[in-house]
Structure 1
Amino acid sequence: MNTLRYALRFLLRARTYTLINLLGLAFSLACCIILLRYIHRELTVDTHCVDRENVYVSRCQIGENDALVSSTLNGDTLAVDPSLVMQRSRVTLLDHDMIRYKDNRLQVNMIVADTTFLKLFRYQLLQGESSLSKPGMALLSEHLAHKLFGKQNPIGETFVLSTGKSVTVSGIFATPENKSILQVDAILSEMPGALWERMPMEFVRFVPGADIQKLNEAGKILRPTQVGDGSMYTFSLLSLKDVYWESRLLYRTSPTMCVSGNRAQLYVLSAMCIFIFFIGLLNYINLYAVLLGK
């Protein structure tokens, strides 16, 4: 108790030094905490996926152009042993599509997905049911539901897509706390006969230990497109935990719906965080030494 009393008396005797010392250390620690939170968010992208280590997306490349599209399109010959695949989901991106509810028109980012998509990615259900088993059903984000329907109960309400088809709201989901590659406002169920005029992408969950490198070697074999113009294309599988860093690829897939990161920027911010921490610590030690000397 006496030690604390002596320490407090010593600090109060030199209030200016104490204030500068504590403020410098506090500001440096605050900057480090902010940077660490940002770095952590960048490293935990799509952690709402049930198995991020073993979920892959298919990448198609035609000449210099590449994008994330389904590897099963047009009878592709990429041989994948069915015993290696646990789950497979095809998703169509409808970025900046228009929807209409009464006189209210909104431009939103939507995806058309099968029931497997909700098994691969966990979305917290706030209201209704998380089912895409029936055609013409939709799950809305909490933000979009409030923007479209206000305070009224949105379950069972219908809105119209840009294609003229009516969709019924079956549930409301919360936006994942972690960062996600896909910025989704609504998830629509598949509709037989619907023409979205978009190329679907695909998520494939493989069994642990599957030889992805061998599959990618098979995907390097050039195969002709069905367009009939003589162009050739290849396929490869890219891990979900790595696709976030493919800025050019995500931009070509959907420039307004897909977000990407920069590894080099992350390394710079990590170095800055360490630098700021040591500067604050050295400043604290230096001022404390000056105060002791005085």
Structure 2
Amino acid sequence: MKQIYYVIQTLIHGRGSNIIKVVSLGLGLTMSILLFSRVVYEQSFDTCFKDHDKLYQLWDIWTVNGEPFPPSEFIIGAAAGGILDAMPEIVESAASTGSWPVSAPIYNGSVRFDDFKVTADSLFFQTMGIEVLSGDPVRELQQKDVIFLSKDLADKMFGGENPIGKIISFNKEIELTVKGTYAALPENCTMRPKAVISLPSIWSRRIGNYSWEGGDSWKEYIRLKQDIDLDELNKRIDVVVQQHIPRSDKFGITVIAKPVRDTYRGYDEVKRMRNIMLILGLSILFITALNYVLISISSLSRRAKSIGVHKCSGAGTGTVFGMFMWETGIIILLSLFLMVFLMLNFRDFVEDTTAAKLESLFAVGRIWVPLGVTAFLFFIGGVLPGRLFSKIPVTQVFRRYTEGKKGWKRPLLFIQFAGVAFI
């Protein structure tokens, strides 16, 4: 308890430099934790689906005169079903989805809803691993003019009433019957529809090309029964596809499967932004830690005599080291309060910039990110100056020091850190 008392007295005595430390650490922690949390959040995309490691998305690669195009996640409509039929010992289920045929709004009476929707076949929920709350999608989605609503959209449309059997309209042209509901999906999903309209609703009106002969505008998925080498799986898929597509000397197509987790984090812009955020986060974290160390060390000549007094009073090296660790812990704790204050008061700006809700960034499964950043800062900021100060000899109390005019260094370090953090 005496250590804590002396630490508090020291903090009060040096409140000027401590305010700079708290503000600097608060800004640094805010920026670095947000950047690292966003990177980890992006790596968690599409893990919301049940047994996501067995869920694969299909991609096609078109070749023209022997020159391949980049892989596209929009493929020909019949591929998923054809693969399921040809490989039942490996593929458990398959689903085809399309958002473009149902991009128009839906209406409950005169109230318009522009939520994202897809049209999908009867195995959509089984394939994706989405929890169905009510209804039988395997049977109902084989019928035309049927719609399933997510729980949150159903509540928004009907205010908590049972939506089953309700009639809504698509673009005020097609009447749809609500046949079921399903659990709302989190933000970190690449396939996150608020409503699913049966694919026969589109087929019956001759919308789109759903065949082996083109119409590459569908997103398709397969769920595997067992683990299989990805190269072997893609070889077998290619054999199936080549048996069905029309022969052409000019055009060719190859269909491949990729783990659904690799869809979002495989986008070029996502990989580029991930690298940028990692570099910025590491830079800010190191600058923050080193600035704290430098500010602490800059007070060496001023605090050396007080440390000598502590040692004359019986404090050992470990006691002095512990005092500096306590001091660092208290300052970091105050900095965390500042970080929370900034995030809550600038919540809209933070969520708009990171393109994610704070609840998603700091979900229980990702709470290790801020804890890890804080622990790293505590270790660097506490251990380095703590070891340096604890080695000051007792004879220091008998020496006379004259400190030069070095006060400009602290505001300079603060300005340097604040500029880097906000950039």
Q: What's the TM-score once normalised by structure 2's chain length?
A: 0.57
Q: Partner letter of residue 137 of structure 1?
A: V
- Residue 280 of structure 2 corresponds to 272
Change (3 A) 1:124 1:53: closer
Following superposition, the deviation at residue 102 of structure 1 comes to 2.3
State the distance in 1 between where 2:25 and 2:297 align: 15
The one of 216, 219, 224 equivalent to 1:201 is 219
**Cα pair 1:124 1:174 within 8 Å, conserved:** yes
Q: How does 1:63-142 map to 2 (within 5 A)?
A: 63=63, 64=69, 66-70=72-76, 72-73=78-79, 81-94=87-100, 96-123=103-130, 129-132=134-137, 133-134=139-140, 135=143, 136-142=145-151
How many residue pairs are counted as aligned between the two chains?
280
Larger radius of gyration: 2
- C-alpha separation in 2, matches of 1:75 and 1:129: 25
- State the alpha-carbon separation in 2 of the partners of residues 265 and 155 from structure 1: 43
| Residue 28 of structure 1: how far off its partner (Å) | 1.3
Q: Provide the secondary structure at the position in 2 that maps to 1:86.
A: strand
Q: What is the DSSP-based 3-state SS (H/G/I as helix, E as strand, rest coil) of the residue aligned with 2:119?
A: strand
Counterpart pick for 2:293 among 282, 285, 290: 285
Provide closer, same or farther for how the CA distance between residues 37 and 175 of structure 1 changes in structure 2, counting only shifts above 3 A: farther
Residues 1:236 and 2:256 aligned together: yes
Structure 2 residue identity aligned to 1:100: Y
Asked if 1:159 corresponds to 2:179, the answer is no
Aligned counterparts of 1:105 and 1:78: Cα–Cα separation in 2: 37
For the residues of structure 2 that align with 1:281 and 1:98, how far apart are their CA atoms? 51
Structure 1 217/10 Cα, relative in aligned 2: closer, same or farther at 3 Å?
same
Alpha-carbon deviation of 1:179? 0.8
Which has a greater percent of strand? 1
RMSD (CA atoms): 3.5
Q: Is the 8 Å Cα contact of residues 47 and 178 (structure 1) preserved in structure 2?
A: no
Matching residue's letter, 1:26: G
1:137 and 1:168 in contact (8 A); partners too: yes
Instruction: State the distance in 2 between where 1:223 and 1:78 align.
Output: 14
CA 1:151/1:22 → structure 2, altered by over 3 Å: closer, same or farther? same
Higher alpha-carbon deviation: 35-44 or 187-196: 187-196
Structure 2, gaps ≥5 residues long: 64-68, 210-216, 303-423
In the alignment, the residues of structure 2 paired with residue 206 and residue 173 of structure 1 have an alpha-carbon distance, to the nearest angstrom, of 22
Deviation at 1:240, TM superposition (A): 1.0
Sort the Cα spacing of 1:211 and 1:72 in 2 relative to 1 into closer, same or farther, 3 A: farther
Q: Distance in 1 between matches of 2:81 and 2:3?
A: 79
Contact 2:164 2:178 in 1 (8 A): yes
The residue number in structure 2 matching 1:262 is 270
Do the aligned partners of 1:223 and 1:233 also contact (CA within 8 Å) in 2?
no
Flag the 1:116–1:75 CA change in 2: closer, same or farther, 3 A: closer
What is residue 55 of structure 1 aligned with on the other side? 55
Q: Which amino acid aligns with 1:206?
A: L
| 8 A contact 2:95–2:123 mirrored in 1 | yes
Q: Which amino acid aligns with 2:261?
A: K
Deviates more, 1:146-155 or 1:234-243: 146-155
> Equivalents in 2 of 1:202, 1:59: separation in Å?
8
Matched to 1:56, the amino acid is: Y
**Cα displacement (A) at 1:186:** 0.7
User: Could you tell me which amino acid in structure 1 is paired with residue 286 of structure 2?
Assistant: F
Query: Is contact 2:97–2:121 with CA below 8 Å preserved after alignment?
Result: yes
SS in 1 for 2:11: helix
5+ residue gaps, structure 1, are: 249-260
**1:83–1:70: structure 2 CA closer, same or farther, 3 Å change rule?**
farther
Q: What is the match of residue 45 of structure 2?
A: 45
Q: Is the 8 A contact 1:100 1:106 kept in 2?
A: yes
Counterpart residue type for residue 168 of structure 1: T
Point out the more displaced range, 282-291 or 73-82.
Answer: 73-82
Quick one: distance in 1 between partners of 2:18 and 2:80?
Answer: 72
* Partner of residue 386, structure 2: none
- Between the aligned partners of 2:114 and 2:297, the Cα distance in structure 1 is 61
How high is the TM-score relative to the length of structure 1? Answer: 0.78
- 1:34-91 Cα offsets, whole Å, 9 max, x none, are 1122112210111122232232222223334744325744996999532111222222
Aligned mates of 1:74, 1:238 — CA distance in 2? 13
% identical equivalent positions: 20
Between Structure 1 and Structure 2, the one with more helix by share is 2
